[in-house]
Every structure is written in structure tokens, then in C-alpha cells.
Amino acid sequence: MIGYLEGILKQLDATRALVLAGGVGYEVHISLQTYYKLEGQKSVALQIFTHVREDALSLYGFASAEEKFAFGKLISISGIGPTLAQKILSGIDAPDLAEAVTRGDVRKLSSIPGVGKKTADRIILELRDKLLLPESAREQTTPSARSSMDDDVHSALINLGYKPRDAEAALEMARKELGNDAELSALLKAALRQLTRS
């Protein structure tokens, strides 16, 4: 099974990328979210989901581990195949999908082309509490290495009830404000100030 692909981007359109690696051209199905990230790139690195059927082997590519994770969860739902999952992720990015599912936002999900109210209901019912990105995948999507202090502050904010994405944004702002030499308590206070601002 192919799980990762790195190579030269030979062709790109809104639904497919042709990636040349080791003299072989791999045709990879992609969402619009991934398409936007690949536009203008010459070489690419994609997380790959290999979908095997009796009559076909298809590759689905993702610019982030988060999107691949969401794709895997979507196709685990009865009635949602890879094509529909790809359409869903073209209409909403993985973090927003997780948020909509957590909030039970049927309206937002059913506004995605190809997703009716029944499908939106099923996604919410089956994926509630399942779209939190595992730690191993989250590390792959973090572009810069964080210090253990940053991890401690981030963890503390989540334990206080803040959403991971909000905690991440507040931590980033606090780090910019205080610089790299800030102590843990000062960093935590600054992040909390960011979160409590209206």
C-alpha cells in the first residue's frame, strides 16, 4: 500500500494530480483544498490513501495528514465512498469539518454540494468525537518544531476547556508577543489574555 508520495508535479487540475516519482507517473485524486496548496508547486509531497476495489486501485492524495485522517473517517460511514468524501473535503477543510461535526451544524454540512440533510445527520452522528486528529498525525502537520514548554501551555489550555485550534492560535500570538525566552507562567497568562479578549 502506498501511504506517502513525493515527486515532480507533472500535471494538475481541480480533481487530479500527476506526480512523477522514480520514473513512474502516479495519478492521484485530490480535493480542492489540496489543489489550492499544490498550485504553482514544481515538486510535491502528499499523504496517500490507497483505495483498493476488485476492479481498481485508486490513490487519493492530501496536502496534510489532517485531511487524510478526515477522509478515512468519512469513508468509514456507510453510504459515503471515496468520491463523495473527496467532494466533501473540497467543500470544507478538515478543521472546519471537525468543528461543524462537534457543533452538530447540519446546515453547514448540508450546504456542501452532494451532501443532503440525511447525509449531514449521519456524518454528525457517526463522527462526533472521532475527528480529533491523533497526536502522531498532528505532529506531521506542524510545520515548525515546538518546544516542550509550548506543548505544556497548549495542553493546559485544552485542559481548561479551550478548543485545540483556538489554543494553538492563542499560543502563537503569545509567543510572538513575548519572544522565545518567555517563562511558562508568562506564556500561559499571555495566551489566556488572547483567548479572553472579546
Structural domains of the chain ordered from first start: 4-62 (2.40.50.140), 65-127 (1.10.150.20), 144-196 (1.10.8)
Would the pTM count as exceeding 0.75? no
**Do the bridges between strand 43-52 and strand 57-62 make them parallel or antiparallel, or are there none, so unpaired?**
antiparallel
C-alpha span between 18 and 8 (Å, rounded): 8
> Tens digit of pLDDT for each residue in 138-166?
444 444 445 677 878 888 887 777 877 88
90-128: b or e for each residue (b if 16 or more CB lie within 10 Å)?
Answer: bbbbbbebbbbbeeebbebbeebeebeeebbebbbeebe
> Tens digit of pLDDT for each residue in 40-60?
899 999 999 999 888 888 999
Residues 75-97: what's their mean pLDDT? Answer: 91
> Tens digit of pLDDT for each residue in 90-140?
988 888 898 889 889 999 998 888 898 999 999 999 998 777 655 544 444
Q: Residue 112's Cα: distance from chain center in Å?
A: 17
Residues 54-76: what's their mean pLDDT? Answer: 91
C-alpha span between 143 and 63 (Å, rounded): 12
184-194: b or e for each residue (b if 16 or more CB lie within 10 Å)?
Answer: eeebbebbbeb
> Tens digit of pLDDT for each residue in 33-43?
899 999 889 99
Q: Which three cell numbers stand for residue 54?
A: 476488485
C-alpha span between 7 and 187 (Å, rounded): 40
Instruction: pLDDT band for 63, please (50, 70, 90 cuts).
Output: very high
- Local structure of 166: helix, strand or coil: helix
